[in-house]
Structure 1
Amino acid sequence: MNSEFRVRELLLGIEGLALLRHAVDGDDAFLRARVADIRRFAAEERGPEELPGDGSAISELDATAGYAAWSTVYDSLPNSYIEVEEPVVASILDGVAPGVALDAACGTGRQTRALTGRGHHVIGVDQSPEMLAKARANTPEAEYRIGNLEELPLADDSVDFAVCSLAMTHLPELTAGAAEIARVVRPGGRIVVTDLHPFVVALQGQCFFVNGSDDLAFIRNHVHLPGRYLEAFGQAGLRVRACHEPLFNGRLAPGGYEEFIGDAARAAWDGLPIVIVWDLEVPA
């Protein structure tokens, strides 16, 4: 795909966001440091060789190519989104009786593993063969199928529970994905949908990861405000039990462009929700 970002502009954006959010009540030394960094980056006083990834372009990959590449490192890097999401999801899973469960867009199978460990028979579905291979190796006792969120390879009313983690943000619109998940869950069943919080997607946008040795790439996210989720869930006949919005925990991905300006990045995201977790049910 032709779309691409550059590291220098990303650094400037994070510095500017940190400055904007703390301009009124921030420490003077912190604010001066942000202004100084912005001046240096804007004046290109730091050469490309001093920037993460040598300041090279960040290429966009579609979901197929992106997750094929990302699968090689997905489980090995700290991820603040997963770290704040998992305790919320775990508390919901602990209250769900074992049954037949769907892990939609299962990726490398972290929710598949969590569900299997709680006694569910799990069907993991993902569009990426590479991700499914990782999931199968991680939790071989589960069942796996190739498929996408908008056309799940399951019969109507065939599972008791479904989870879809950090995936619907890749869809340009939510209606079809929500309807498909609702279609396969039996009346009285439960659904958990988690996603990048629209604040994060609106401010930063994309899923950046290291592609190959040190090149950065991203997979497109779309901004879906809470009202859009509610509209899609309502059209699918789902009832919202709860909505959780866990906050940024201070973790930055090691070696990434944000760690390069850690003080600014932590200040930019401090106190913001970075994940949204929907606890849903199919009316009996």
Structure 2
Amino acid sequence: MIDIQWTNRTMVNTVIAMTHLRGLGYLLGLQGAALLRGMREGTADRAFVERRIDEIRQLLDDPALNADEGVDASLGDISTNDVYQQWAPAYDGPNTMIDLEEPLIHSILDDLPLGTVLDAACGTGRYAAHLAEKGHRVIGVDASPDMLAVARKRLPDVDLHVAGLEALPLPDDSVDIVVCGLALAHVPDLVPVMAEFARVLRPGGHLVISDAHQLLSYVRPTLARYAEDGAPPSILVEHHRPLSAYLAAALPMGFQVRHCAEPKSPRESRSQLDEPLSDPPPTHVSWEIQGWCPEAAAIANDVPSIVIWHFQLDDEAKSGQ
């Protein structure tokens, strides 16, 4: 699709990336992922393969799925701030990603000595609250004013700033710990962010990160969002990376790896996949329609959900900067 814009009397052609989202395509993709994984791991016996083929035939013949013509969603016509403006009031509600991630991050943070902590991309202040309760001096930054508004109500005594991760409003060598939870997928380039983390950390300081895992993004891709004003659907641009990308950005800054984990969501949290749905699927792609092929979906979803890193800034590297 070509969007023709006029700027200072000059015609500019802007290519807008479009993604076609259709429930049938998504379900067939899950079946294919399950088949390939079974072949790779040696668990795809004849009965398993026949079940996948039978389900694929049923999906292709299903009238409701075939009646859904899908939607074309533009990539990047919605910003991170737009999304978090919608999320802010309900962000602290039930969230399986946070339920998996928080205990693991807490276990790392709780073993570190008390000090000054930067909660980078603090959102509604879930880590800031935990750290303040433990006795740390906490500073929070987030690019979303709506998320920070929730954090300010929750933490009136914590120093909170509207700021992006590429330009932190802190002096050099001013914090002992940086924690950044489930936010780096919104950052297009990790290098300037890691450089800022290294700049504000004192020698020997700790960096604790969680991020959505790249493997999960293939099974649960970012879905289209529908504006209240009836505008065409749009997909938020996210940056899901291999593990090597974090190392490539962190190690040159003087960070050393202390711990890395790739936890999976427990099977119980995906109980909605246990039984096929009897109702017609929604008119747009939703993760809920995985229930139409629960066995394939359970296998495809059996991947790490999150990556967790604990880095420590090398004393000599910091002194040499």
Equivalent-residue separation in structure 2 for 1:105 and 1:87 (angstroms): 18
How does 1:49-68 map onto structure 2 within 5 Å? 56-57=71-72, 60=75, 61-68=78-85
C-alpha displacement of 1:180: 0.8
C-alpha displacement of 1:77: 3.6
Residue 7 of structure 2 corresponds to none
Equivalenced residue count is 277
Structure 1 length normalisation: TM-score?
0.84
User: CA-to-partner distance for each residue in 1:32-59, whole Å, 9 max, x for gaps?
Assistant: 443344334446632478x7xx955556
Verify the 8 A CA contact 1:70 1:211 in the aligned structure 2: no
Residue 142 of structure 2 corresponds to 126
C-alpha displacement of 1:101: 0.8
Verify the 8 A CA contact 2:219 2:301 in the aligned structure 1: no
User: SS state of the match for residue 63, structure 2?
Assistant: coil
Which residue identity does 2:312 align to in structure 1? E
Equivalent-residue separation in structure 1 for 2:95 and 2:245 (angstroms): 30
User: Are 2:204 and 1:188 aligned?
Assistant: yes
Structure 2 length normalisation: TM-score?
0.75
User: CA-to-partner distance for each residue in 1:233-274, whole Å, 9 max, x for gaps?
Assistant: 11211111111111232334979823322323222122x222
User: Are 2:300 and 1:268 aligned?
Assistant: yes
Equivalent-residue separation in structure 2 for 1:16 and 1:216 (angstroms): 27
Residue 241 of structure 1 corresponds to 258
Verify the 8 A CA contact 1:16 1:38 in the aligned structure 2: no
Equivalent-residue separation in structure 2 for 1:133 and 1:211 (angstroms): 24
User: Are 2:89 and 1:72 aligned?
Assistant: yes
Equivalent-residue separation in structure 1 for 2:233 and 2:51 (angstroms): 26
Verify the 8 A CA contact 2:73 2:224 in the aligned structure 1: no
User: SS state of the match for residue 122, structure 2?
Assistant: coil
User: Are 2:168 and 1:152 aligned?
Assistant: yes
Which residue identity does 2:288 align to in structure 1? E
**Aligned equivalent of 2:240, options 223, 229, 233:** 223
User: SS state of the match for residue 123, structure 1?
Assistant: strand
Equivalent-residue separation in structure 1 for 2:164 and 2:37 (angstroms): 38
Equivalent-residue separation in structure 2 for 1:85 and 1:171 (angstroms): 19
Identity %: 36
Residue 39 of structure 1 corresponds to 57
**Aligned equivalent of 1:170, options 183, 186, 191:** 186
User: SS state of the match for residue 156, structure 1?
Assistant: coil
Equivalent-residue separation in structure 2 for 1:240 and 1:226 (angstroms): 12
Equivalent-residue separation in structure 2 for 1:122 and 1:140 (angstroms): 12
Which residue identity does 1:265 align to in structure 2? A
- Kindly name which structure, 1 or 2, has the bigger radius of gyration based on alpha carbons: 2
Alignment CA distance shift 1:36-1:274 (3 Å)? same
User: SS state of the match for residue 263, structure 2?
Assistant: coil
Equivalent-residue separation in structure 2 for 1:41 and 1:56 (angstroms): 19
Which residue identity does 2:21 align to in structure 1? R
C-alpha displacement of 1:140: 2.9
Alignment CA distance shift 1:57-1:15 (3 Å)? farther
Verify the 8 A CA contact 1:244 1:277 in the aligned structure 2: yes
User: SS state of the match for residue 122, structure 1?
Assistant: strand
Equivalent-residue separation in structure 2 for 1:218 and 1:110 (angstroms): 26
Q: Could you tell me which runs of 5 or more consecutive residues in structure 1 were left unpaired when the two chains were aligned.
A: none
Equivalent-residue separation in structure 2 for 1:209 and 1:72 (angstroms): 20
C-alpha displacement of 1:19: 2.6
